[in-house]
Amino acid sequence: MLVQETLTQMETIYMYTYIGLIVLLAVLLFACLIRAILGPRIVDRIVAVNMMGTIVMVIIVVLSLLLKEGYLVDIGIIYAMISFLAVVVITKVYIGVYVENNQKEDGKDGNA
């Protein structure tokens, strides 16, 4: 953030709005972290991790507005792509484990 001795009233309002939004998003990020840890199902955990990635991306973009640094938007876009790919990989691994477990259970029932 650029430190200036005189901020206009509108800039001060924007600054407090951005800071309030970052605090609110941090609280929501913590709530998603709790959901990702507690579950109860794997689907809840995957959705929580996806939501955490989205919230972090929004925090980065709000910080770019607060600090008036345009390159942070590019970092936010890159983070969104990485977060999306991570969720796709986690989902693919979960589906593979789920299918493998079902095949093992079907094999046990067929042999008995």
3: in domain: no
Tokens (6 digits) for 53: 């990635």
> What's the pLDDT at 2?
56
1: in domain: no
| pLDDT, averaged across the chain | 89
Q: Taking 80 as the threshold, does the pLDDT of residue 111 lie above it? A: no
65: in domain: yes
Task: Return d(Cα 73, Cα 50) in angstroms, integer.
Answer: 19
Task: Return d(Cα 14, Cα 19) in angstroms, integer.
Answer: 9
The total number of structural domains that make up the chain:
1
Residue range 31-75, pLDDT digits in tens: 999 999 998 988 899 999 999 999 999 999 999 999 999 999 999
Tokens (6 digits) for 3: 């430190």
pLDDT band at 101 (very low <50, low <70, confident <90, very high): confident
Could you tell me the pTM of the whole model? 0.79
